Amino acid sequence: MAKQLNVALIGNPNTGKTSVFNHLTGLKQQVGNYPGITVEKKEGICKLERGVKAHILDLPGTYSLNASSLDENVVIELLLNKNNKDYPDVAVVVADVENLKRNLLLFTQIKDLGIPTILAINMSDRMERKAISLDIPEMEERLNTKIALISSRKNTGLDALKKIITEYKTLSTEPCVNASVIAPEYFDRLRKAFPNQDIYKLWLVITQDVNFGKLERGALNSIASFKTESTSTLKRLQQKETIIRYKFINETLQETQTIDTANAKDLRARLDRILTHKVWGYVIFFAILLLIFQAIYDWSGYPMDFIDETFASISEWVQNTLPPGKLTDLIAEGIIAGLGGVVIFIPQIAFLFLFISLLEESGYMSRVVFLMDRVMRRFGLSGKSVVPLVSGTACAIPAVMATRNIESWKERLITILVTPFTTCSARLPVYLIIIALVIPDEKFLFFNLQGLTLMLLYLIGFGSAIGSAWILNKIMKIKSKSFFVVEMPNYKLPLLKNVGINVLEKTKSFVVDAGKIILAISIILWVLASFGPGKQFNDAETIVTKQLEGEGGISAFAKANENQSQANEAYQAELEKRIASQKLEHSYIGYMGKAIEPIVEPLGYDWKIGIALITSFAAREVFVGTLATIYSVGDAEEETIKNRMASEVNPTLGKPRFNFASGVSLLLFYAFAMQCMSTLAIVKRETNSWKWPMWQLGAMTVIAYAAALIAFQSLK
């Protein structure tokens, strides 16, 4: 059986490298993170001629082998380490036909590493409109390689590229440029010291500050002596290297490329003047966001309702079909409910990444990032942070996932840590019922007070995120290079295949990775709520039956109902509600609520609200449902729940439990507290550590508690 061929796709950002990867691999892809770091790793399988299978690795976009970001470090470390299992047999450098001069710098550097290198010139379908012509045979001779002229949009030239990959052993590994001419004496000393090593690889080892792992250095311990040159000297030599490379590239393109600039159309410049305008740019951006999130709320509502009803039906079917018992309850109320808690997020995630993918594919997102950078940078964030922060108003989970395109680890980490402050849609049920209880339904200057309160909560969330980012930027001692380089790609119609694969990848990533953690915690919560110590839990039915008998039993229900059948049904319904409430109060999670009552009492809460706080960690919406069960109203309408909540009395103060002080306290607690376990799970996944989500959970809980405490004690 033939050895699997390792192929590395390399290129500058926005050259269409990912489109080429999608065409070569289709859905035979895997997405994960490189071991120990947060950079995304994309790999897939492509079938070539004669039954050869190629393992395609889509490396992060890089402008050169002079690393300035975590993404670029990944590329260099792989290309310098032959012991790495992904070390390429052949490299495919994807270039944009309109930016060949810049793209060829990376090509000439990789060629110098002695790796068989193919040049794939993408977007060839734009050549006629941009009045570009290329002499491919002459260019192949000068660059000493094979060239595939391709169009990932029109799906042309890809078969030719596959054929060249299959025949990679015929490619020359001779360099295009002799880099040693920048300092002949220095490189002669290097050759004498390491006669069996590749000179250009040594040069990169000397000049790069990256982790090379098990790079085959042998006796390279003495390489430190070549790093004794001052940083400024090495930087100057790097600049010289870049100059001689561009001199070679310019000479090559003068002979092989012609551009009729008089016939080239320049719609891009006119659009950029509008979309990056210091006033109209922001107006257009926020108008687009308004449309996007309106669509997300409207469109995702239908599938989410369907998913909710479907899982409820499945749970009911299991309860009615399987033999009664704890195993059936676990499957119906724990596992199926837990799976439903994962799957119900899919529509929001899919729609959000659909819109983000469309904006990225069209070239517009780069303009937004450029526009917002001037505002966000003063708070320690990147212009690219605006996408997650705004996305967080729908759901923090896809918002945290959307931080992956922020190059600086420090800026990305800060964005991840502060994004949960933005008010997500799951908090709305909590906000709406509490506001309805404690804020008068009156108007102030034509505005409804309840509506103003809701808007204020959104503003508090966004303000907290920005303020926290500023503080974290000041106190974090993470060294992270922060170069704001954003490519302004050409505008183009999004490729539906790319958009579809991107949405599928992101959705699958959430379901598979975060879903496992969510399901596990859901089952734990079910167990804690379904079991309890002592007679109060185990004999709940007997205790509740005696209570009802003491209140008149079934005869009390007969007075309120016309016939005996209705009285029996009403009695049975009340009995079941009270048994559920008795069991919950004396379950393990009920005792947890009682245990934390001394802690939450200064905030104006009792053990019932304490339980709701614990269970709502599974999902914020659970708060209302938990209180509905505790107040023995079962599946009653929200109005009934609201009336029961309104009638609750704080025995210490002799006032309603849900008064203005406790209501504001509760609103602020939910405004600042960590959103839910799903968010915690996805933060763990994106940071590859439990350290940051635990710090995040602790800090946000302290802030939420302090804000709620101050509010209640000040207003009571």
Lowest-pLDDT range of 108-117, 166-175, 492-501, 705-714: 492-501
CA distance 556 to 571: 9
The helix (H) or strand (E) run that includes residue 579 is helix 564-585
CA distance 396 to 394: 7
Q: What angle do CA 680, 379, 510 make, to 5 degrees?
A: 25
Q: Is the dihedral of CA 610, 613, 618, 620 positive or negative?
A: positive
Amino acid identity at 20: V
Rounded (to 5) percent helix, strand, coil in the chain: 65, 10, 25
Q: Identify the burial level of 325 via C-beta atoms within 10 angstroms of its C-beta, where 0-12 means exposed, 13-18 middle and 19 or more buried.
A: exposed
> What are 378's two structure tokens?
């003063």
Dump pLDDT digits (tens) for 19-36.
899 888 876 666 554 444
CA distance 68 to 65: 9
Quote the mean pLDDT of the chain: 80
- Interstrand relation of 655-656 and 147-149 (parallel, antiparallel or unpaired): unpaired
Domain residue ranges of the chain, discontinuous segments joined by +: 1-265, 532-715
Mean pLDDT of 144-153: 90
pLDDT of residue 699: 93
Give yes or no for residue 667 having a pLDDT over 80: yes
Question: What number of other Cβ atoms are within 10 A of residue 442's Cβ?
Answer: 8
Model confidence at 61, pLDDT cuts 50, 70, 90, reads confident
Instruction: Tell me if residue 4 falls in helix, strand or coil.
Output: coil
Mean pLDDT of 469-497: 73
Share of the chain above pLDDT 70, in %: 83
Dump pLDDT digits (tens) for 64-104.
888 766 667 788 888 888 888 889 999 999 999 888 998 99
CA distance 92 to 58: 10
Say if CB 465 and CB 418 are below 8 A apart. Answer: yes
Which among 23-27, 291-295, 646-650 has the top mean pLDDT?
Answer: 23-27
Closest CA to 311 of 346, 347, 327, 335: 335
**Residue 688 zone, left/alpha/beta (φ > 0; ψ -120 to 50; rest):** left
Q: Identify the burial level of 510 via C-beta atoms within 10 angstroms of its C-beta, where 0-12 means exposed, 13-18 middle and 19 or more buried.
A: buried
Q: What angle do CA 471, 472, 478 make, to 5 degrees?
A: 140
Lowest-pLDDT range of 32-41, 359-368, 519-528: 32-41
Give yes or no for residue 392 having a pLDDT over 70: yes
Say if CB 628 and CB 679 are below 8 A apart. Answer: no
Mean pLDDT of 338-356: 76
CATH superfamily, domain 1-265, is: P-loop containing nucleotide triphosphate hydrolases (3.40.50.300)
Residues counted in the chain: 716
CA distance 312 to 323: 18
- The DSSP symbol for 38 reads -
Give yes or no for residue 439 having a pLDDT over 80: yes
Cα 207 → chain centroid: 33
pLDDT of residue 630: 58
Higher-scoring residue by pLDDT: 413, 130? 413
Q: What angle do CA 524, 340, 506 make, to 5 degrees?
A: 105
pLDDT of residue 505: 76
> What are 639's two structure tokens?
């109005």
pLDDT of residue 7: 94
CA distance 353 to 362: 14
Model confidence at 484, pLDDT cuts 50, 70, 90, reads low
